Amino acid sequence: MPEAAAWLILFLPLASFLLISIVIRPTLGSASQLAGYVTILAVGASFVLSLVALFSTVASDGHIAYPLHDWFSAGEFNFAVGILMDPLTAVMLVVVTGVSLMVQIYSIGYMHGDRGYTRYYASMSLFTMAMLGLVLANNLLQIFVFWELVGLGSYLLIGFWFDRPSAAAAAKKAFIITRFADFGLLLAILYLFFNGDTFRAADLNPFVITDIYHAIDLGIISVGVAQWVALGIFAGAMGKSAQFPLHTWLPDAMEGPTPVSALIHAATMVTAGVFLVARFFPLFEISPVAMNVVALIGGITAIFAASMGLVSNDIKRVLAYSTVSQLGYMMLALGVGAYGAAIFHLFTHAFFKALLFLGSGNVNHATGTFDMRYMGGLRKFMPWTYATFLIGSLSLSGIFPLSGFWSKDEILAHAFDSGDPVGGLVFLLALIAVFMTAFYMFRALFMTFNGDFKGGAEADPDAPTHGGGLHLGESPAVMLWPLLILAVPAVLIGFVANPLTDLGVVPIHWMSEFLHSNPALHNLHSGAPEFNKSLAAFSSAVALAGILLAYMMYQVKVISPEVVGRMFRPLYVLLSRKYYFDELYEDILVRRVFYGSVAYAFDWFDRSVVDALARLIGWFGANAGSALRQLQTGQLQTYGMAISIGILIIFGAFLFVRG
């Protein structure tokens, strides 16, 4: 693939953003519709080029070499830009552009009539461009720039309806928490720079990713340096991917439009953290401490987020907790060395999670609410949305033979075969999360689509369209076709790594083998573990048990959810209050500790020390000027007397020294 075509993948959405922002918005009366078409055309072209990049990378045995282009130099600092086209890049490009294209098409119907329609598509173009720039970057500084642009795009889109206080607060919350985590990434970059003498001695650049890989091969990166850099990188990844304990921003991010949620959760913002750890996976491998931290945080996140999804009544927040949990799966996979399985799960998850979020958008479009307690019975009104939501739920639950089954099974198999205590612990956590995932997804399905309709927005006092907004029936074709298209990979995409069949075209575990063909991973054991039928059957049985429990509680109701809630009242309150993390961060850490102690101490220091010092300097200047002013009388005889006295003093001193 020519380098110019690779750059076009990035520049087409950028051109769309500039065209909408500068040309379309201020000049054309029909700007709204045109903005959507321009974005779809740009992202669609990027998707086609991404497919070309994928096929070209496969044909090139996992790597296409593009030159670096010097931007500027200052002393030992050299900033070069370039594209890193390897299996990870190729897979991520298809995920980002493919999901983004479906979301942009869907948005034509969902955002129709919104006052900010043009601004929406400009922000979506910027957001997609930022994620593509992050994926394509071959330089740590490039990564950091696009990393922050991804954060900016998410801020603009989460707070898209900024006139709603909850949306403005959610955008600020996401921005602040992820910026706090990004400080770790920045420290890692600076740490590499200040330990870059060995790089420069070997004629390597401490910022260029391929040079970092080369330094690892040469053995010039010590375990200590690798550990601190890896932990700094992971700190940034924890913020973007909402890993425990920096997860609190993601459920609130549902305040943005539903297509935004689909894009954030499936292909951009939250997957950026997993991508970043995968990009620097050779660095993590050097440090057992970093690997164990990634695995444990991932395992804790998987079960922690899933537990909150058990009791949430907002369908988008259920899906948000599901995303956090699945990102935990990906992180724990990376932590136990299952590089290929982690990215394979990211790949499959993108399609069925986008499908589920867009399905929730259709439900909201029909009922005017996201609260599942006021839904029910939608199966007969929305058969196509129901069918696609069922496919997404089955795939997310890991039911054979849908795509989620294959990728999740690979992660469980790797953790089970790891042979170390950390791997055994995260395997157990992941298995419990399998049960929880199946339960809360089918709880959502039964509450939303089965039973009797409970009134929608007309019955929900908290709905923005309370008292109206019902449009019971299937969504328009422009909102339905993206779901039907996404349902296909949700069912079939797992077969690119299906270990049960070899059709003679696609080798066994093709996706993992392709990802491991990255030259930087040549030291990593190749491929996936042998397919464990017993483990796959057991994990499937666990998932089916979760579905059965949801069926008994929310469909046939032989078990009363209200009775269970009363029996486990303290646990129910703990989960519904999200383990009180919002209270911990906002009430205790921010208001009491920061504002009440830290900020007060800084305020006292500013007033009592800094301001006092400034006043002292001012007083000295004013009073010194007053003293000098007494000498400037304007009387010539006084000046003559002073000069005479000075001459006498100088003459006396001269005589004294000569004597």
| Confidence band for 135, pLDDT divided at 50, 70 and 90 | very high
Alpha-carbon distance of 578 to 157, in angstroms, equals 24
Q: What is the 3-state secondary structure (H, E, C) of 341-383?
A: HHHHHHHHHHHHHHHHHHHHHHHHHHHCCCEHHHCCCCCCCCH
> Are residues 355 and 392 in contact, defined by beta-carbon separation less than 8 angstroms?
yes
| Confidence band for 466, pLDDT divided at 50, 70 and 90 | very low
Structure tokens at 526: 């190749």
Identify the residue with better confidence: 516 or 339. 339
Average pLDDT over residues 175-204: 84
User: Burial of 273 by CB count in 10 Å (0-12 exposed, 13-18 middle, 19+ buried)?
Assistant: buried
Q: Is the dihedral of CA 277, 280, 285, 286 positive or negative?
A: negative
Alpha-carbon distance of 489 to 484, in angstroms, equals 10
Neighbours of 34 (CB within 10 A): 18
Q: Which residues are CB-contacts of 504 (< 8 A; sequence separation ≥ 6)? A: none
* Dihedral over alpha carbons 418, 539, 395, 450 (to 10 degrees): -150
pLDDT exceeds cutoff 50 at 467: no
pLDDT exceeds cutoff 70 at 499: no
User: What is the crossing angle of helices 258-266 and 269-279, to 10°?
Assistant: 10
Alpha-carbon distance of 103 to 353, in angstroms, equals 12
Nearest to 326 by CA among 265, 285, 280, 276: 265
> Are residues 94 and 50 in contact, defined by beta-carbon separation less than 8 angstroms?
yes
137, β-bridge pairs: 83
* Confidence at residue 27, expressed as pLDDT on a 0 to 100 scale: 64
pLDDT exceeds cutoff 80 at 442: yes
* Confidence at residue 505, expressed as pLDDT on a 0 to 100 scale: 47
70, β-bridge pairs: 80
Angle in degrees, CA 527, 533, 536, rounded to 5:
85
| Confidence band for 523, pLDDT divided at 50, 70 and 90 | low
Alpha-carbon distance of 364 to 367, in angstroms, equals 5
* Confidence at residue 507, expressed as pLDDT on a 0 to 100 scale: 47
Q: How far is CA 240 from CA 175, 180, 580, in A?
A: 10, 10, 21
pLDDT in tens, 568-622: 888 888 888 878 887 777 777 777 777 667 777 777 788 888 888 888 888 887 7
Q: What is the three-class DSSP state of 221?
A: coil
pLDDT in tens, 312-341: 888 999 999 999 999 999 999 999 888 888
Alpha-carbon distance of 510 to 384, in angstroms, equals 32
pLDDT exceeds cutoff 70 at 508: no
* Confidence at residue 354, expressed as pLDDT on a 0 to 100 scale: 92
Structure tokens at 428: 């157990």
Q: Is the dihedral of CA 114, 116, 118, 122 positive or negative?
A: negative
Q: Which residues are CB-contacts of 99 (< 8 A; sequence separation ≥ 6)? A: 262, 263, 266, 267, 350, 351, 354, 486
Nearest to 272 by CA among 316, 300, 225, 233: 233
- Please provide residue 389's backbone torsions phi and psi, each rounded to the nearest 5 degrees: -65, -35
> Are residues 53 and 66 in contact, defined by beta-carbon separation less than 8 angstroms?
no
- Please provide residue 314's backbone torsions phi and psi, each rounded to the nearest 5 degrees: -90, 120
Letter string b/e over residues 225-254, b meaning 16 or more CB atoms within 10 A of that residue's CB: bbbbbbbbbbbbbbbbbbbbebbbbbbbbb
Mean pLDDT of the chain: 85
Helix, strand and coil content of the chain, in percent to the nearest 5, comes to 75, 5, 20
Average pLDDT over residues 66-70: 82
Q: What is the 3-state secondary structure (H, E, C) of 440-453?
A: HHHHHHHHHHCCCC
Q: Considering the entire predicted model, what is its pTM?
A: 0.86
Average pLDDT over residues 411-433: 87
Q: How far is CA 519 from CA 88, 278, 603, in A?
A: 11, 14, 54
pLDDT exceeds cutoff 50 at 503: no
Structure tokens at 455: 């009134």
- Please provide residue 632's backbone torsions phi and psi, each rounded to the nearest 5 degrees: -95, 80
* Confidence at residue 509, expressed as pLDDT on a 0 to 100 scale: 66
Give the H/E segment covering residue 153: helix 140-158
Nearest to 581 by CA among 164, 173, 169: 173
Structure tokens at 211: 């040079």
The lowest-confidence range among 262-276, 285-299, 515-529, 579-593 is 515-529
Residues of the chain with pLDDT > 70, as a percent, come to: 92
> Are residues 528 and 410 in contact, defined by beta-carbon separation less than 8 angstroms?
yes
pLDDT exceeds cutoff 60 at 652: yes
pLDDT in tens, 360-401: 999 988 888 888 888 888 898 999 999 999 999 999 998 988
